[in-house]
Structure 1
């Protein structure tokens, strides 16, 4: 994926769902940007503006869609829809 078509994930280490989703993306060896909300406090507002919610993780896909607190199955289904190869 190119820089403008990468997946972006907003999350934090203290969040179990974030750790799970990050581990899934890592295991799939996908090139994605991880925005650590503990180190970039302003990014929390960006994540909230994208999702309309305060929950994390927020995963933003290259097609502009996003998921909030997605299950592994949700992420896999979206990646298949996008035709991601891994």
Structure 2
């Protein structure tokens, strides 16, 4: 499955404005200097479709895509900051 991730280390987080889990993950990653591209699925229908395609038809956020240093693409649903950092090679 192809993800919309462009290159190693790029992190994309699919969110909504009201999601507490999204806010927490963003702040935890920001504290460690990890930047991301944030996409609000309520404003971007294509992003909502992608999120539903990887979450059994559900609009579950945060959904995160990234490419680890070994070139492997990952799609994670509600991951911990620790998991994201490990996959980025930042842990």
Note whether the superposition's TM-score is higher than 0.5.
yes
Residue matched to 2:89: 83
State how far apart, in whole Å, the 2-side matches of 1:82 and 1:40 are.
Answer: 26
What is the correspondence of 1:2-17 to structure 2 with a 5 Å cutoff? 4-5=7-8, 6-17=10-21
Does the CA contact (< 8 Å) of 1:18 and 1:56 recur in 2? Answer: yes
**Aligned equivalent of 1:65, options 74, 80, 83:** 74
CA distance in 2, matches of 1:19, 1:78: 15
**C-alpha RMSD of the superposition:** 2.0
Question: Which segments of 5 or more consecutive residues in structure 1 lack a partner in the other structure?
Answer: none
After the TM superposition, which segments of 4 or more aligned residues of structure 1 sit over 2 Å from their partners?
Answer: 50-53
Higher helix share: 1
* Structure 2 unmatched ranges of 5 or more: 1-5
**Among 32, 37, 41, the residue aligned to 1:33:** 37
Paired residue total: 80
1:52 aligned onto 2:52? no
